[in-house]
Structure 1
Amino acid sequence: MYTRLVSHTDKINQQLARYGVKFGIYKGGVFEERLFPFDAVPRIIEADRWQHLERGLIQRVDALNAYLRDLYNEAQITRDGVVPEHFAYASSGYLPQCENTMPPEGIYSHISGIDLVEGNDGEWYVLEDNLRIPSGASYPLIARNLCRRCDADTFREVPLVDNRDYGSRLKGVMDNVNRGGINVVLTPGRYNAAYFEHSYLAEKMGAVLAEPSELFVEDEVLYYRDSTRNARVGAVYRRLSDEYLDPLCFLPESLIGVPNLMCAYRAGNVAIINAPGNGAADDKGIYYFVPQMVEYYLGEKPILRNAPTYLPYYPDDLAYVMENAENLVIKDVAEAGGYGVVFGCELEPEKLAELKDLVRAEPRRFIAQEVIDFKCLPTWINHEMVPRKADLRAFVLSGEKTTVWPSGLTRYARQEGSSVVNSSQGGGFKDTWVLSR
């Protein structure tokens, strides 16, 4: 099915490099740009498997949006004891500045990146929910475009669902909440890790790519400044973290924010995508409660499963983690990109003891999970086919309705035996083929 594509792997990677498809990271305080290695052997998902996954993803994101609407306004879920009040508000992603502020159309997470693995038992397991500024959609988008150029026959022969509409889907999400004006992709600039994606997606959806210095607020309205006119901005797809958005509301030392942006947002004059404060729901500790949220808000049983998870915040779970730490994955709830993830089996006894002491001292800071035995995918590395662990980041878009992009970013571990697939940890990526029949 993909034999011819494999022979073009080197050529496709060369073209990706020419387009600037790189992943930037800061290492030791120094910015480094690295190629994001592409493997032409795709992940293939059958139509019926995809339909099941799609239903589960829509259900999950709808519940998470309901939680954010509730938490920042009525907070009924904490009063009913489904999520402990102290636990919810202790999240580092919770922003008091966003209380009693309802975003346009009541949508908080417009673009959700849900990370899953397919277990060897055939089940899909959600590992985490990314609701702040999830990145990665541009990579399979451009990779498939280049693959089509190299081997158009394969894409005529294989019954794939087309993934080229992501730009129009994203535009539809922005148009749905636009408060009157142009759509803008707000980038911190060239040295951001995902700058390629910012510029590529802005082009695909016909939005203006703007840096903070090109935006200003006047009379609680956001404007884009160019050489000829000041254009009103109705929706901002921001690609910088909450704390840097507005120096008058969050970090005063931020040089990449837009002063008074939050005033325009609170006044209902601009939509911010994704909404500020979403970190309160993609905290890895809150992940523990998502199945309960599905039942609480939607009255349905969860379609997708969490990885078996323990919350040291609860004394019984803490005791279990202390007894079984060497067999668990322990995660710092505030970390991302593969950082703060520790496999107990890989630690020397002294380091494991230190970690357990830290978990005892700061139980709200950690979760622990059973190690999921997830599938390896065939991967072409150094001119041979080898098995490598791989996850899937699915992109769920919430506009007039919630939909799932029939594609996704499959990331694979380049090192044999490794389960860490994050691009920031040296992983590569694949296209994700959803079969239409």
Structure 2
Amino acid sequence: MSTMFEGYGTSGPAYDEMFDGDELRPPYLRMRDSLDKMSTPELISRVEALQASYLDQGITFDIGGEERAMPLDILPRVIEMDTWTTIERGLQQRVKALELLLADVYDAGNVFNDGVLPRQVITTSSHFHRQAATIRPANGVRVHVSGIDLIRDNNGEFRVLEDNVRVPSGVSYVMTSRRAISAALPETIAQHRIRPVASYPQRLLAALRAAAPAGVADPTVVVLTPGVYNGAYFEHTLLARTMGVELVEGRDLVCRRGEVMMRTTKGLAPVHVIYRRVDDEFLDPVHFRADSMLGCPGLIDAARAGNVTLANAVGNGVADDKLVYTYMPDVIRYYLNEEPVIRNVDTWRCGEPDHLAEVMDRLDELVLKPVDGSGGKGIVIGPRASRAELDELRGKVLDDPRSWIAQPVVQLSTVPTFVDGELGPRHVDLRPFAVNDGSRVWVLPGGLTRVALGKGELIVNSSRGGGTKDTWVLAGPTSPEQQQQQQQQSREVL
């Protein structure tokens, strides 16, 4: 294993989370010591067994209509408790601000009247739904589950890359990767005190039950899935099974007199909370797409009547809009009177003339993103684009400036990744998941680390060939004395 690390190159501006120059960073010391005792053939055999087990369990993702085993790298990512505490605090702050923003834009609109956020930014968003106006959830929660994407910049500082509060996915990979890595590297995981992730389903179920309509003491919770052909169906089944609730499709539900019922072998049974994994546009053919067979007619009216809770709430997508993202620092200051704990990535709004002019001048230096894009789709990295691609992009941006933002090329941090029998640095991001039960925002310790498996590749999405890593949050802070001792030991190892 030592030969692999000897060839590990960390040159370039990206922050490497394992090595600081030639020195090993403290969180990775024990992992290095453990893996150093393993031969390359042995590690390769464990990788093969790991991938085979994922495929056998049906842990897959959809890419171009083809189901493939989700690539899971055998080397985990390690985050110190002190660092995680800051991440946790920042996510809790952001979720609280997002809750207040969504409640405001679909009701009083004070954020518009006070000049913090232009009304047209919200009303021109493709994810703004007037059907959600004045719907007030039972316990005031709209963002029951969130997945806030973070990156680590060249200085090692975590930044918010984007918000996901519609139907965030990926938590199933967090739970399954922990089990898989525990089996693949038992001796390594035994040497670390790692915060567990297994309690997520219970936390989610508790939050969903807390969101039940008023007067319902023992609510019935269901998971609504688009069906077996959905790319995240594995996650839907896993969450329903681990929470101990029914997994239903739209055809299993019926709305009568403003209430939602579920078809069972014993007749109709009331449903009080729907953890829906169906996009807004397909949820209710009465109010959205009339041709949708994935939802159930009458769900929006039942929610408005206060007889059922939809989690997450309809209309949350405006907060996912990347143009709204650029206003989040001001939104946090406005609602919470606090400075953001985790900063945004610097961003230009192409809809503003001065920003647009600068972006056009620097098109070959910046990253351009469609504001309603997801999965890495539509992103153009200026320095890697051809002249023809840049000319095409320029035309698209000038035709519809509001639909684009620009950001500097951020060299995502790198972590050791085992690809094709070799160890090397690969770029990663992090999607921590937060659950809001109305009284507390709980953050799952770890989250989904997505890794770009191609050398030098910056887009980590699975739809673009990315994989995942198990994310270890170490339990207990590291004292200065321990850190100094670990740094001394890392020099001796190297």
What TM-score do you get using the length of structure 1 for normalisation?
0.97
Residue 177 of structure 1 corresponds to: 211
- My pick for the range that moved more, 265-274 or 348-357, is 348-357
CA contact (8 A) 2:137 2:309 kept: yes
CA contact (8 A) 1:24 1:191 kept: no
Residue 427 of structure 2 corresponds to: 389
Structure 1 residue 349: deviation in Å? 2.1
Cα separation, 1, equivalents of 2:192 and 2:368: 41
- My pick for the range that moved more, 346-355 or 234-243, is 346-355
Give deviations 1:270-293, integer Å, cap 9, x for gaps: 111110000111101100001111
Cα separation, 1, equivalents of 2:452 and 2:262: 41
Based on CA coordinates, which of the two structures has the bigger radius of gyration?
Answer: 2
- Point out 4+ residue stretches in structure 1 off by more than 6 angstroms: none
Tell whether 2:139 aligns with 1:105: yes
Query: Equivalent residue of 1:357, what SS?
Result: helix
The one-letter code matched in structure 1 to 2:379 is V
Residue 79 of structure 2 corresponds to: 45
Cα separation, 2, equivalents of 1:234 and 1:154: 44
User: What is the total number of aligned residue pairs between the two structures?
Assistant: 433
1:33-432 residue pairs with structure 2 within 5 A? 33-179=67-213, 180=216, 181-399=219-437, 400-432=439-471
CA contact (8 A) 1:188 1:212 kept: yes
Structure 1 residue 173: deviation in Å? 1.2
Query: Equivalent residue of 1:325, what SS?
Result: coil
Query: Equivalent residue of 1:41, what SS?
Result: coil
Identity percentage of aligned residues: 41
Residue 487 of structure 2 corresponds to: none
Structure 1 residue 86: deviation in Å? 1.2
Structure 1 residue 154: deviation in Å? 3.1
- My pick for the range that moved more, 330-339 or 348-357, is 348-357
Query: Equivalent residue of 1:87, what SS?
Result: helix
- Against the structure 1 CA distance between its residues 324 and 16, is the aligned structure 2 distance closer, same or farther, given a 3 Å change threshold? same
Structure 1 residue 151: deviation in Å? 4.1
CA contact (8 A) 1:6 1:41 kept: no
CA contact (8 A) 1:137 1:408 kept: yes
CA contact (8 A) 2:181 2:470 kept: no
Cα separation, 2, equivalents of 1:157 and 1:345: 43
Cα separation, 2, equivalents of 1:389 and 1:89: 36
The one-letter code matched in structure 2 to 1:169 is R
The one-letter code matched in structure 2 to 1:65 is E
Cα separation, 1, equivalents of 2:253 and 2:153: 46
Structure 1 residue 111: deviation in Å? 0.6
Q: Show structure 1 runs of 5+ residues with no match.
A: none
The one-letter code matched in structure 2 to 1:436 is A
The one-letter code matched in structure 2 to 1:402 is V
Structure 1 residue 144: deviation in Å? 1.0
Tell whether 2:53 aligns with 1:15: yes
The one-letter code matched in structure 2 to 1:263 is D
Cα separation, 2, equivalents of 1:223 and 1:244: 19
The one-letter code matched in structure 2 to 1:426 is G
Query: Equivalent residue of 1:225, what SS?
Result: strand
The one-letter code matched in structure 2 to 1:408 is G
The one-letter code matched in structure 1 to 2:109 is A
Structure 1 residue 148: deviation in Å? 2.3
Cα separation, 1, equivalents of 2:402 and 2:193: 47
Residue 13 of structure 2 corresponds to: none
Structure 1 residue 316: deviation in Å? 1.2
Cα separation, 2, equivalents of 1:408 and 1:76: 34
Structure 1 residue 387: deviation in Å? 1.0
Residue 19 of structure 2 corresponds to: none
Cα separation, 1, equivalents of 2:281 and 2:302: 17
What is the aligned-residue RMSD (CA, Å)?
1.3
Query: Equivalent residue of 1:329, what SS?
Result: strand
Structure 1 residue 107: deviation in Å? 1.1
- My pick for the range that moved more, 143-152 or 361-370, is 143-152
CA contact (8 A) 1:101 1:266 kept: yes
What TM-score do you get using the length of structure 2 for normalisation?
0.86
Structure 1 residue 72: deviation in Å? 0.1
Q: Show structure 2 runs of 5+ residues with no match.
A: 1-30, 477-494
Give deviations 1:353-401, integer Å, cap 9, x for gaps: 2312221221110000111122111001112111111111110111131
CA contact (8 A) 1:223 1:232 kept: yes
